[in-house]
Chain A
Amino acid sequence: MSLAFPRRALLAGAAALAAPLVMPRPLRAQKGGSLVATTYPGIWDDSFREIVAPAALKTKGVEVEFQALFAVDQIAKFAASRGAPPFDAFVLDPGPRITAIERGMFEPFDGKKLTTLPKLPPQLVDQWGAGCAAQVVGIAYNPKKVPKPGGWDDLLKEPWVSRLGLTGFGTTFGTVSLIELAKVFGGSETNVEPALAELKKVLPKIAAVGTPAAMPGLFQQGQCDVMYTNTQTVMALKDRGVDIEFATPRTGAVAFFTTLHIAKGSENVEAAYKYIDTVLSAPVQEALTRPPANLVPVNKDVPLSPNLPMKSLDEMSGFVTHDWAKINPLRGGWIERFNREMAK
């Protein structure tokens, strides 16, 4: 017996099923416009959807749709789309930001269009975009297992080295931490060889060499009890009941900014300015400061969390910073060196 399925009904059904897959979902028309912005997966994604999207709609009449992508994935996706931007606004760390500037991925940015401009530290706004959160990198340790480490070089000494969790140059925090480690042994922003040489000496003792995304899990599982990371990760793990504290190294914590940019060729430039203005506004920044987001705010009206190693944003000018325009061209080589030196 053959199936008595009317062909037209079948085709109509299939077309109805396929339509939502093929056709982009139109954003509802809002008077302030609409845009697609990127956010980092995980905590950033959750808090931007919960806090920023409703605030943008309420205060600016802008509808924001988020795409959760890591910084490097945003660059790759934009590069692959060749001229038809897959989103209107980027959120990036310093390294990928430089890559994007060099490859012409941003619309020029005019800070004067932001109502929040007077509330931001002046170095945070330039011709390419605006900083939306600070990141502070230092050493995280389990106070129940190991004493507080004093500096980067302590990581390579007992009792820390045998409990150390290491990641390579794949992330911003990993790169800056290894640079700081290199500096202690005579290296510099452009010379990480001393760090690799010292690491190689203690390699058999090191508890774990992991991918950046695996590190919080390895720490939580007790696979390692010391690692370098940012304050946000420390607070997130603390919120989950993990024994973890942040230690500022003797040579200073490292600071860098996460920045927002408008994608080249975006058709929603005005809406993108309004979205960026919303992220930088005091109420949104304050909400993003609270758990679980735990971001370090950039709006001067927002008080800093007592868990942070500084009392005000001005104090951060004393923190260690790096020139990513110099680091970027070397980073590919460093990643490969790290693979080779650490490989069994």
Chain B
Amino acid sequence: MSGAAALAAAPAGRAAAPARARRLTPWGLAAPLGLAYAAFFVAPLLMLVAVSFYADERMTRWGLDQWRRFLLDGFHWKVVADTLLLGLKSVVATTLLGFPFALLYRGASPRWQRVLLFVAVMPLLTSVVVRTFAWIVILGREGVVNQLVLGLGLAAEPLRLLQTELGLVISLTQIEMPLLLLPLLSVMARIDPRLLDASASLGASPWRTLFRVILPLAAPGLAAGCLLVFASSTTAFISQSVIGGGRLVYLPAMIWQQAMVVANWPFAATAAIALLVSVSAVIAVIAYAGRVAAGHAHG
């Protein structure tokens, strides 16, 4: 707001104005987004916090009942732990598959880099709902994988892949992969190839170069990618409910159930804050690990 005022006042005080305008313009330019965030994100978030402190589902009196109900029940802690673990498993799986791809990308010619980048981004061109339903067709009892396994005689009975955590992690790995690759590829492309030559000429093995040179330099991009994959897969409501099914209970589905089916907004708000806090805590750890690893490269 002050930025906007400064912009409006600029023509009046001609001498001092340019310097002041220069100082305030970035704030002024950020103001529309900032105000939009304040109105449509921060304010609803505060309302969410307030709603969680209603004692009853009709929201008539204040109290800590919903928080007690959430925190004093082992089942809810298990759901929180399962949700975070699902995110970590997706992060590990996407990293194991995505990092070699990024190494390939780093060494490729500019023309091949464009092709690989397109391959990495391609899944984003279809909606997450379509990708999720495609995985039902692939992992189902009569799906592609099972037809192959039965056809090759590798198993007598169809494998159970759908509605298992393994199936969910497999599908999330594909669904979230672009989120890991985009930041990772951009830092990989910026690694100076002379550093690798230097490492080799000083006698380091390729593995040593990977762990002591490439990995620390790629750490900020890898951390950013892991962070996005973690946040996205812990909150992947559609994939979790469609691929995971009713026996795998995660926080997003629980929040939806409480808010929409049971119409218990205070409890849904409590669970939503629990999701926000627990996911943010893990994200903070991942970001810190990324900074420490990057510090090794420069320190």
Contact = CB atoms under 8 A, between A and B. Distances in A.
A208 B140 CA distance: 11
B141 A222 contact: yes
Interface stretch (B22-30, B200-208, B244-252, B273-281): B244-252
A250 interface: no
Contacts of B57: 332
A73 interface: yes
A331 interface: yes
Contacts of A340: 75
Given A217-B136, A332-B262, A210 B141 contact: no
B196 interface: no
Interface in B131-153: 133, 136-137, 140-143
A339 B254 contact: yes
Interface in A181-210: 207-210
B247 A214 contact: no
B142 A210 contact: no
A209 B261 contact: no
A211 B136 contact: no
A167 interface: yes
A221 B259 contact: no
Nearest to B253: A211
Interface in A272-326: none
Given A211-B241, A211-B246, A217-B136, A335 B262 contact: yes
A223 B140 contact: yes
A210 B261 contact: no
Interface in A127-168: 166-168
A168 B257 CA distance: 11
A342 B246 contact: yes
B246 A344 contact: no
A327 interface: no
Interface residues of A, number: 32
B264 A332 contact: yes
B245 A214 contact: yes
A72 B261 contact: yes
A193 B241 CA distance: 24
A41 B127 CA distance: 19
A210 B246 contact: yes
B247 A343 contact: yes
B263 A210 contact: no
A242 interface: no
Contact of B249 (A73, A76, A218, A343): A343
Interface string A204-245: 000111110010011001110000000000000000000000
A170 B261 contact: yes
B162 interface: yes
A75 B245 contact: no
Q: How many of chain B's residues touch chain A, expressed as a range?
A: 20 to 34
Interface string B161-177: 01101000000000000
Nearest to B259: A76
A214 B78 CA distance: 25
B245 A209 contact: yes
A218 B246 contact: no
B242 interface: yes
Given A209-B247, A221-B140, A344-B248, A99 B242 contact: no
B137 A168 contact: no
A168 B142 contact: no
A340 B245 CA distance: 14
B163 A170 contact: no
A70 B133 CA distance: 21
Contacts of A339: 75, 249, 254, 257
Nearest to B164: A344
Nearest to A210: B245
Contacts of B248: 343-344
Nearest to A166: B246
Interface of A: 70, 72-73, 75-76, 79, 99, 166-170, 207-211, 214, 217-218, 221-223, 331-332, 335, 338-340, 342-344
Given A222-B141, A332-B264, A343-B248, 16 more contacts: A72-B260, A166-B246, A168-B246, A211-B253, A221-B141, A221-B142, A222-B140, A223-B136, A223-B162, A331-B261, A335-B257, A339-B75, A340-B75, A343-B75, A343-B78, A343-B247
30 contacts: A70-B260, A99-B263, A167-B246, A168-B246, A169-B261, A208-B162, A209-B163, A209-B245, A209-B247, A210-B163, A210-B246, A211-B242, A211-B245, A211-B253, A214-B241, A214-B242, A221-B136, A221-B142, A222-B140, A222-B141, A223-B140, A223-B141, A223-B142, A331-B262, A332-B262, A332-B264, A335-B257, A340-B75, A344-B165, A344-B248
